[in-house]
Structure 1
Amino acid sequence: MPGISAANMYRYNDFDKAFVANRAAQFRDQIGRWQNGKLSDAAFLPLRLQNGWYVQRHAPMLRVAVPYGELSSAQLRVLARIAREYDDPDAGIYRRALEAQRKLGTVRLPAHHAHFTTRTNVQFNWIPLSKAADVMDLLASVDMHGIQTSGNCIRNISCDERAGVAPDEIADPRPFAEIMRQWTTLHPEFAFLPRKFKIAITGAEEDRAATGWHDVGLRLVHDENGELGFRVAVGGGMGRTPVIGVVLREFLPWRHIMNYIEAVVRVYNQFGRRDNKYKARIKILVKAEGQRFIDEVEEEFRQIVECDGGPHTIPQTEFDRMSAYFVVPPQVAASRSPDAAADAAREEAARQTPLFQRWLERNVARHKDPSLRIVTLSFKRPLQAPGDASADQLERVADLVDRFSAGEARVTHTQNIVLPWVHSDDLLPLWHAAVAAQLASANVHLLTDMISCPGGDFCALANARSLPIAQSIMERYQDLDELNDIGEIDLHISGCINSCGHHHSGHIGILGVDKDGAEWYQVTLGGADGSARGSGEARPGKVIGPSFAAHEVTDAVEAVLGCYLTLREPRGDRRETFIETVRRVGLEPFKAAADAVRATAEDRT
């Protein structure tokens, strides 16, 4: 298929294509043997997980890898086809589960959808295993697969969605991400780790990749001599024990990054716990061993470099070869004369149309090329779960990507889509097209641009349902004037302690918990993912009291926000953001406001 990868993305060579096609054929054979009874369920389990297939509450769930968040228009169209033709609970075998879900009153439109995750993968929730092989063949046709999306291995490597285009970028992290992706795929040292292992990379001054929350967080930096290298943090993670990664190296020469990761993983493999999966993540080992862990990594790194000759040192030629894939697309690089008429039309439209003006302010960001812009398409709107994209929407996005962004899109960890190559002259026609596709919500980084996992409607691990909570808050806060008055705020919702909705890093975090078989929700305040919206510092939020019943959660959020609006102060020519006010005054005023909601609810009963 032509145009599988855009001109500015990594393009699979013959080896890559054969590898993915053979993996799909191998999985087809494994499914056949399982269906014929030649493979037991226990024997088939690791085989399907290695290809991204889970079994969830009602049906199998497929997780598709999107390395460092990049998607071409051709890949988007295949994802749309999978959603339309294969993600169908009404086909028959899942009808009972679907009816049970509908009786719960879920707001999600469950059929023919893909779901963007917080680690920039794509999931499908209703594909029967009997059709799994056909789906894997379709994915392989556009250089996609489910490798490294499950199991105790190095998972899909995530990245800043503005990599290569952000004005604050020190260096493009994508060549390193791709080199590491290839290196970690089926690496025997990384195949059976004590637990899953996640890496995030950013090359910008602002950490939009939440690197502090990962098992390994990498930030490109310059030393005092101007040499490029990595700041390496290890041991971050969410889940039951939220921890921010510990910096092991303030500066590591870029050529040695894989040697150093190998040292980290070897120490983890040797000393990580395997007797208790809840204590098996590397964050537990780093926290327990402290300086000893760092010393072990440094000694292992020394032996890899000095005794083994640094076998994973990145040669300049390999870096240059990989960097050649990640260049400005030819159709963008070609000179384009400024269009005064387009500028005038855009300015007049902004004056005449407040929604367009808001969209320019919220969804459009500066680009390192002054003639270009970075545009976010928001999937956050009423009656659509955060991160969900219908088959029609995926096809519309593919059309927009071809027309306005050189064939390339990026998935964000906030569950939206970014178009990285939009010419400023095209902003008005792009907005009109996005409005028609219902992807023009002007709410990026506002309250309704929330993160949410699928929760108990789909996930077998969840204690509570995330999506109705998200929908209730979304419905209450639809006035754009009110949302803009509240200002930038990160609201994150998880259905269980595994924190797939990143509740720990939310300025407001909501966690579903089980209390004697009933669904309740803890509220946390003050978390941050490390981006500028949290003053550039990653930290976990703190619980503000006993949990709330489902019908109390939106009122509690409203009370917390009302408290903030009362307490916020001016800061120069602007007003404090929510997170700034929380850090200045502490949690007690917000706790009292939320407690009043609980007390009122108790009085009513």
Structure 2
Amino acid sequence: MYQYTEFDRHFVHARAAQYRDQLERHLAGKLSEEEFRPLRLQNGWYIQRYAPMLRISVPYGEISGTQLRALATIARQYDQPDPELLREAQEKQLALGEVPVPGGQPVATRLKFGYGHFTTRTNVQFNWVPLAKSADVMELLAGVDMHGIQTSGNCVRNITTDALAGIAPDEIADPRPFAEILRQWGALHPEFAFLPRKFKIALNGAKEDRAALGWYDIALQIVRGEAAELGFRVQVGGGMGRTPIIGTVVREFLPWNQMLNYITACIRVYNSYGRRDNAWKARIKILVKSEGQRYIDRVEEEFKAIVERDGGPHTITQAEYDRVAAHFVAPSVSRVRTGADQRLHEIVRADAEADPSYHRWLQRNVLAHRNPQLRAVTLSFKRLGQAPGDADAQQLEAAAELADRFSCGEARVTHEQNLLLPWVHRDDLPELFAAARKLGLARPNIGLLTDMIACPGGDFCSLANARSLPIAEAITQRYQDLDEEWDIGEIDLNISGCINSCGHHHAGHIGILGVDKDGKEWYQVTLGGADGSHLSGPATPGKVVGPSFSAAEVPEVIEAVLRTYRAERTTVEGKVEPFIATLRRVGIEPFKAAANGARFTEKNEREIA
């Protein structure tokens, strides 16, 4: 993974010192809240529903064991709310009430603290760090080459890519060097620090789109040209939110060394013509949708001017690419066991192979690697009693130990809110399984129903219309039978607490969106969304199945939809048709009818009770 240079380290330490001065002036009354707000946001500090929230940048998901331990320290020492503030928050949450679950235990909101949250954009968030201690956290992060710069604001945000970047068997080329070049280019870019709205860029280097490219402001897919030369297919104008739109292909082939020049043209045109009078219409997707070919033509004109008039100032030289790529050389991983170590390994391996859970874990949590001696292993952070993507201090430290012991000190935050270990020797799989299972991180549910995506929702976010976490917990509670979950098979279930779509509900095979209805929490359900992966097919927004449902009805709706799937699915040559394929084959109407039939009436409420 990328190692900071002396310049990088000096930069983040100077930024932390600058922020401490700003914070001290604010707390002393020398900087008003209005003056301080943009300064804290530029460093990842939000004020959410009840307390400050810190968003930490994890570029393209790569994180070291040392950094995970630093996050554990933040969780344990700093993510601790003021007692009075927590009491007020709890009183407000109690007023919202529990989410009733027919046939199960009511799910109460849990305002937990002392943990980090993995986001869909591979960042890490903390929800309870007191603002007075925020400068201490900034310094701690700088000490392990981390920061919160550009995780907020109308600028180029954290660059993302496939969690299997650099190790996938189907990879055309490693996108990480390009992602790092983009990170260095985009960090505090003076021209693009105050765009009409936030701006997100993703790259994918594999044949399969595992980076959800269609949903990004700019998406770069690595391709090979007619002479096998390396380049990018460029999409612009994707996005979720109030108006879900799939990005438009604006260039089928862009030479790799022109990446920064072309992105400069794309963003410069957006910066010039994007709307600033309406936040809901300010994203680049609205400009691309309204202008169509005129936007593309203007970008091409600007790109030509940058290259010919300005001399292509951001052309990437081979030397610069080689400098950055040198940080991403695969580590040396070998295993030679002798004597007692070999005997112990055989005992652990025999125990694992006798355990049916181990074989399920191999199928769901262990992925192929470009090096046949290695595997990529996902640690599941989805379990009952824990919100999707949450990790407490003990789990963060444990993940660091697993990364150091089994993965050359490296882990990766995934789009699905889990952690992936990218450098696991296949001979270590039994030991890793045993260690992860003790920590509760080996549930073989990756890609299944309980491996859901969910944003923090109304429990924490000031923008949310409804809570996400109790809904996620209610569904998880209902589907604790692993045999049933495996029978249902691969399915993406995504939950957002508001139309901003941080839970990517638009891209879920089943999406759940929290909405406000007369001051109460209700939920829309969408079906047929896709993120662009091999299982899902081309990126597609889901379709709403009908009027919104109450919180208590949502688990019943999900069950009705899945019951319809199991009745309609086919089996060909022993292979069961997955949910998304069945939905597309038979159409949405049977599922829509089942969902709306699950609404509570006075009669079936009595029967359920």
Aligned twin of 1:550: 551
Secondary structure (helix, strand or coil) at the match of 1:123 reads: strand
Aligned twin of 1:524: 526
Q: In the alignment, is the contact (CA less than 8 A) between 1:166 and 1:366 conserved in 2?
A: yes
Show the 5 A alignment for 1:227-266.
227-266=229-268
- How far residue 351 of structure 1 moved from its aligned partner, in angstroms, is 4.5
Q: Which amino acid aligns with 2:440?
A: Q
CA distance in 2, matches of 1:547, 1:501: 18
| Cα-Cα RMSD | 1.7
Q: Which TM-score applies when normalising by structure 2?
A: 0.95
Q: In the alignment, is the contact (CA less than 8 A) between 1:526 and 1:583 conserved in 2?
A: yes
Aligned twin of 2:498: 496
CA distance in 2, matches of 1:99, 1:415: 29
Residues 1:301 and 2:293 are matched in the alignment? no
Aligned twin of 2:541: 540
Aligned twin of 1:67: 59
- How far residue 313 of structure 1 moved from its aligned partner, in angstroms, is 0.5
Aligned twin of 1:564: 565
Aligned twin of 2:101: none
Q: In the alignment, is the contact (CA less than 8 A) between 1:202 and 1:219 conserved in 2?
A: yes
**Deviation by residue 1:102-149 (Cα, 9 ceiling, x = unmatched):** 564444461101000000000000011100000000000001101010
Residues 1:597 and 2:598 are matched in the alignment? yes
Q: In the alignment, is the contact (CA less than 8 A) between 2:46 and 2:53 conserved in 1?
A: yes
CA distance in 1, matches of 2:270, 2:305: 16
Higher mean alpha-carbon deviation, 592-601 vs 497-506, is at 592-601
Q: Which amino acid aligns with 1:493?
A: I
Higher mean alpha-carbon deviation, 499-508 vs 335-344, is at 335-344
Residues 1:89 and 2:91 are matched in the alignment? no
Secondary structure (helix, strand or coil) at the match of 2:112 reads: coil
Change (3 A) 1:202 1:602: farther
Aligned twin of 2:29: 37
Aligned twin of 2:42: 50
Percent of residue pairs bearing the same amino acid type: 66
CA distance in 2, matches of 1:279, 1:43: 26
Aligned twin of 1:377: 379
Secondary structure (helix, strand or coil) at the match of 1:325 reads: helix
Q: In the alignment, is the contact (CA less than 8 A) between 1:349 and 1:356 conserved in 2?
A: no
- How far residue 344 of structure 1 moved from its aligned partner, in angstroms, is 6.6
Higher mean alpha-carbon deviation, 221-230 vs 403-412, is at 221-230
Change (3 A) 1:200 1:432: same
Q: In the alignment, is the contact (CA less than 8 A) between 1:493 and 1:510 conserved in 2?
A: yes
**Deviation by residue 1:22-50 (Cα, 9 ceiling, x = unmatched):** 10001001011111111111111100100
Q: In the alignment, is the contact (CA less than 8 A) between 2:162 and 2:210 conserved in 1?
A: yes
Residues 1:480 and 2:482 are matched in the alignment? yes
Q: In the alignment, is the contact (CA less than 8 A) between 2:348 and 2:431 conserved in 1?
A: no
Secondary structure (helix, strand or coil) at the match of 1:144 reads: coil
Q: In the alignment, is the contact (CA less than 8 A) between 2:82 and 2:130 conserved in 1?
A: no
Change (3 A) 1:108 1:162: farther
CA distance in 1, matches of 2:15, 2:474: 43
CA distance in 1, matches of 2:486, 2:232: 37
**Deviation by residue 1:302-335 (Cα, 9 ceiling, x = unmatched):** 10011111110000001011111001113x2x57
Change (3 A) 1:99 1:515: closer
Higher mean alpha-carbon deviation, 570-579 vs 364-373, is at 570-579
Change (3 A) 1:347 1:137: closer
CA distance in 2, matches of 1:550, 1:26: 45
CA distance in 1, matches of 2:77, 2:468: 27
CA distance in 1, matches of 2:249, 2:89: 46
Q: Which amino acid aligns with 1:34?
A: H
Q: In the alignment, is the contact (CA less than 8 A) between 1:89 and 1:95 conserved in 2?
A: no
- How far residue 95 of structure 1 moved from its aligned partner, in angstroms, is 3.0
Secondary structure (helix, strand or coil) at the match of 1:488 reads: coil
Q: In the alignment, is the contact (CA less than 8 A) between 1:342 and 1:425 conserved in 2?
A: no
Q: In the alignment, is the contact (CA less than 8 A) between 1:170 and 1:221 conserved in 2?
A: yes
Q: Any gaps of 5 or more consecutive residues in structure 1?
A: 1-8
Q: In the alignment, is the contact (CA less than 8 A) between 2:196 and 2:282 conserved in 1?
A: yes
User: In the alignment, which of 112, 129, 132 is matched to residue 130 of structure 1?
Assistant: 132
Show the 5 A alignment for 1:417-436.
417-436=419-438
Aligned twin of 1:355: 357
Q: In the alignment, is the contact (CA less than 8 A) between 1:107 and 1:471 conserved in 2?
A: no
- How far residue 100 of structure 1 moved from its aligned partner, in angstroms, is 3.5
CA distance in 2, matches of 1:251, 1:336: 45
Secondary structure (helix, strand or coil) at the match of 2:423 reads: strand
- How far residue 572 of structure 1 moved from its aligned partner, in angstroms, is 3.6
- How far residue 226 of structure 1 moved from its aligned partner, in angstroms, is 0.5
Q: Any gaps of 5 or more consecutive residues in structure 2?
A: 99-107
- How far residue 99 of structure 1 moved from its aligned partner, in angstroms, is 4.5
CA distance in 1, matches of 2:183, 2:90: 37
The count of residues paired between Structure 1 and Structure 2 equals: 594
- How far residue 355 of structure 1 moved from its aligned partner, in angstroms, is 1.1
Q: In the alignment, is the contact (CA less than 8 A) between 1:107 and 1:384 conserved in 2?
A: no
Q: In the alignment, is the contact (CA less than 8 A) between 2:93 and 2:109 conserved in 1?
A: no
Aligned twin of 2:411: 409
Q: In the alignment, is the contact (CA less than 8 A) between 1:568 and 1:576 conserved in 2?
A: yes
Aligned twin of 2:273: 271
Change (3 A) 1:555 1:269: same
Q: Which amino acid aligns with 1:469?
A: I
Secondary structure (helix, strand or coil) at the match of 2:436 reads: helix
Change (3 A) 1:583 1:271: same
Aligned twin of 1:456: 458
**Deviation by residue 1:534-562 (Cα, 9 ceiling, x = unmatched):** 03x11000001111000000000000000
- How far residue 570 of structure 1 moved from its aligned partner, in angstroms, is 1.9
- How far residue 480 of structure 1 moved from its aligned partner, in angstroms, is 1.0
- How far residue 573 of structure 1 moved from its aligned partner, in angstroms, is 3.4
Change (3 A) 1:341 1:569: farther
Aligned twin of 1:5: none
Aligned twin of 2:102: none
Change (3 A) 1:602 1:512: farther
CA distance in 2, matches of 1:98, 1:391: 22
Q: Which amino acid aligns with 1:541?
A: G
**Deviation by residue 1:263-321 (Cα, 9 ceiling, x = unmatched):** 00010011000000000000000000000000000100010011111110000001011
**Deviation by residue 1:327-355 (Cα, 9 ceiling, x = unmatched):** 1113x2x5758999799767744542111
CA distance in 2, matches of 1:370, 1:559: 42
Q: In the alignment, is the contact (CA less than 8 A) between 1:108 and 1:385 conserved in 2?
A: no
Q: Which TM-score applies when normalising by structure 1?
A: 0.96
